[in-house]
C-alpha cells in the first residue's frame, strides 16, 4: 500500500495501519519541503515523524520528536546565548547528527533515510519525495519566511499572503518514488494538509501525470470548515481554496477518485465519490478503525 504523507495527520493513520496490515507492505512517500538545517544538522520533521511512528518512539502528545526525550543540549545552547527556534530533543538530535554525517559523506537523503530505517527497525519503506533541496516559504506582511520559522518562531500568527516552494521547479522525484508509484494501481493520500504537506509532492515533475492513471483515494484533514489540526485552514484560504473537504477535493481535482470525509461532514462532490467514516484519530483504537476502513476501501 502506498501513502503520501506530510505533517502529523497521516502519521496518526500509519499508527493504525501498521496494526492492520504487515508493516513491510506499507510504503510512505514523504514531503521534505519543511526540512531545515538547524545548528549544522538536517532536521526532516515529516520523515522523522513517520520513522518514529513505525519504530514506536513518537511522542504522541505533540506528534513530533521522541517520547520522554530530554532537551539538555537545547538548554545548554540557550545558556551559551544561542537559541534554536526548533526545540530539538537530545535523542532526536542524534537522528539529525547521524543523517547529516551520512549526507556529508555523499549519501542521498533516500540512502540516509534507509540507514535510519534499518537502525530503528522500521520495516515499512519510507521514501523522501526528492533528494534535492526544497523549502516551503510563507509570504507574510512581515516578509518571506521558512515554514518552520512561521510555524514555530512566529507561532503561525502572521497573515499569509502566499506560499512558495523554493527549489521545487528544479527538484526531481527520486527514482525510488517513481518506481513505487508506477508499481501500484491505488495510491492513498493521507489526511495531511493539502497545501504544505502534500502540495510539494504533487508539485514535483511527473507526479500528477502518474496519479492521473491511478485510483487515488484521499482522506480529508478538514471537518466542516475546520482543519483537524495545524495551519491547513489559514494556508488553504491564502491560496484561494475554500476551507472544507470540497476545498481539499479542489486541491486534488486533477486526479482524485474517492474522498474520505468525516461522518459529521456534509461534503458532496460532482466529480469524485465521497465516502464517510469517523476520521478523528485521538486514540490508537480510532487510528486502527480508520486504517481498517481504508484497507477495505482499497480491496487490499
Ligand atoms: N513544532 C513546534 O511547534 N515547536 C517546536 O519546537 C518543534 C520542534 C521540532 C523538532 C523536530 C521536529 O521533527 C519537529 C518539530 N516541530 C516543532 C514540529 C514541526 O514544526 C511540524 O510538525 C512539521 O514541520 C510538520 O508540519
Among the ranges given (69-83, 203-217, 230-244), the one the predictor scored with the smallest mean pLDDT: 230-244
The closest-lying atom of ligand 1 relative to the alpha carbon of residue 230 is 26
pLDDT at 102 over 80: yes
**CATH number, domain with residue 115:** 1.10.8.240
pLDDT at 124 over 90: yes
Is residue 8 domain-resident? no
297 and 260 Cβ atoms separated by less than 8 Å = yes
Task: Supply the pLDDT for residue 27.
Answer: 98
In sequence order, what are the residues at sequence separation of 6 or more whose Cβ sits closer than 8 angstroms to the Cβ of residue 111?
102
The closest-lying atom of ligand 1 relative to the alpha carbon of residue 92 is 11
CA of 64 to the centre of ligand 1 (A): 6
Q: What does the mean pLDDT of the chain come to?
A: 96
What are the tens digits of pLDDT across the range 32-63? 999 999 999 999 999 999 999 999 999 999 99
Is residue 119 domain-resident? yes
**Average of per-residue pLDDT across 282-299:** 96
Closest C-alpha residue for ligand 1 atom 4: 152
pLDDT at 299 over 90: no
CA of 86 to the centre of ligand 1 (A): 6
Instruction: Measure Cα distances from 101 to 36, 40, 90, 108, 188 in Å.
Output: 15, 10, 16, 11, 33
pLDDT at 23 over 80: yes
Phi-psi region of 34 (alpha: psi -120 to 50; beta: other; left: phi over 0): alpha
Q: What is the DSSP letter of 149?
A: I
Task: Enumerate the H helices of the chain as residue ranges.
Answer: 9-17, 45-55, 72-79, 90-104, 109-120, 147-148, 175-183, 199-203, 207-211, 232-238, 245-251, 284-297
Q: By percentage, how much of the chain surpasses pLDDT 90?
A: 94
Residue 232 binned pLDDT confidence (cut-offs 50, 70, 90): confident
What is the pairing mode between strands 258-262 and 226-227? Answer: unpaired
Pocket test for ligand 1, best of 42, 57, 86 (most atoms within 8 A of CB): 86
As beta bridge partners, residue 3 has: 28, 188
CA of 216 to the centre of ligand 1 (A): 28
Q: Quickly count: other Cβ atoms within 10 Å of residue 53's Cβ.
A: 27
Is residue 103 domain-resident? yes
Is residue 42 domain-resident? yes
Closest C-alpha residue for ligand 1 atom 7: 86
Is residue 90 domain-resident? yes
The binding-site residues of ligand 1, defined as CB within 6 angstroms of any ligand atom, are 7-8, 34, 43, 45-46, 48, 64-65, 86-88, 92, 148, 151-152
Task: Supply the pLDDT for residue 91.
Answer: 98
Pocket test for ligand 1, best of 32, 64, 83, 193 (most atoms within 8 A of CB): 64
What are the tens digits of pLDDT across the range 107-123? 999 999 999 999 999 99
Q: Is the pTM of this model over 0.85?
A: yes
Task: Supply the pLDDT for residue 66.
Answer: 98
Instruction: Measure Cα distances from 1 to 25, 215, 253, 287 in Å.
Output: 6, 12, 22, 16
Closest C-alpha residue for ligand 1 atom 15: 64
CA of 54 to the centre of ligand 1 (A): 18
Domain that holds residue 90: 30-128
Residue 281 binned pLDDT confidence (cut-offs 50, 70, 90): very high
Is residue 49 domain-resident? yes
If one counts the domains in the chain, the total is: 1
Q: Round to whole Å and give the CA distance between 240 and 243.
A: 9
Q: What is the DSSP letter of 283?
A: S
Is residue 47 domain-resident? yes
pLDDT at 83 over 90: no
Task: Supply the pLDDT for residue 118.
Answer: 98
Is residue 170 domain-resident? no
CA of 300 to the centre of ligand 1 (A): 33
Amino acid at each position: 500500500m502506498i501513502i503520501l504523507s506530510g505533517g502529523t495527520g497521516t502519521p496518526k493513520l500509519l499508527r493504525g495501519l501498521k496494526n492492520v496490515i504487515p508493516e513491510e507492505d506499507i510504503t510512505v512517500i514523504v514531503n521534505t519541503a519543511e526540512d531545515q538545517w538547524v545548528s549544522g544538522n538536517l532536521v526532516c520533521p515529516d520523515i522523522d515523524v513517520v520513522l518514529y511512528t513505525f519504530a514506536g518512539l513518537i511522542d504522541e502528545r505533540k506528534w513530533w520528536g521522541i517520547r520522554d526525550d530530554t532537551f539538555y543540549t537545547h538548554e545548554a545552547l540557550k545558556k551559551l546565548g544561542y537559541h534554536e527556534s526548533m526545540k530539538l530533543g537530545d535523542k532526536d538530535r542524534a537522528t539529525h547528527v547521524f543523517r547529516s554525517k551520512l549526507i556529508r559523506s555523499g549519501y542521498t537523503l533516500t540512502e540516509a533515510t534507509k540507514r535510519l530505517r534499518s537502525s530503528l527497525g522500521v520495516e515499512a519503506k519510507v521514501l523522501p519525495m526528492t533528494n534535492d533541496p526544497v523549502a516551503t516559504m510563507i509570504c507574510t506582511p512581515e516578509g518571506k519566511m521558512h515554514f518552520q520559522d512561521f510555524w514555530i518562531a512566529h507561532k503561525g500568527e502572521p497573515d499569509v499572503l502566499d506560499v512558495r516552494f523554493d527549489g521545487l521547479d528544479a527538484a526531481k522525484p527520486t527514482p525510488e518514488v517513481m518506481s513505487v508509484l508506477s508499481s501500484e494501481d491505488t495510491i492513498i493520500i493521507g489526511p495531511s494538509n493539502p497545501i504544505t504537506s502534500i502540495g510539494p509532492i504533487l508539485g514535483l515533475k511527473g507526479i500528477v501525470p502518474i496519479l492521473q492513471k491511478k485510483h487515488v483515494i484521499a482522506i480529508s484533514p478538514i471537518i466542516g470548515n475546520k482543519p483537524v489540526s495545524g495551519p491547513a485552514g489559514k494556508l488553504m484560504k491564502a491560496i484561494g481554496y475554500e476551507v472544507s473537504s470540497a476545498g481539499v477535493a479542489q486541491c486534488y481535482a486533477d486526479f482524485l477518485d474517492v474522498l474520505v470525509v468525516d461522518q459529521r461532514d456534509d461534503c458532496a462532490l460532482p466529480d469524485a465519490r465521497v465516502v464517510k467514516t469517523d476520521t478523528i484519530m485521538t486514540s490508537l483504537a480510532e487510528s486502527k478503525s480508520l486504517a481498517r476502513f481504508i484497507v477495505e476501501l482499497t480491496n487490499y
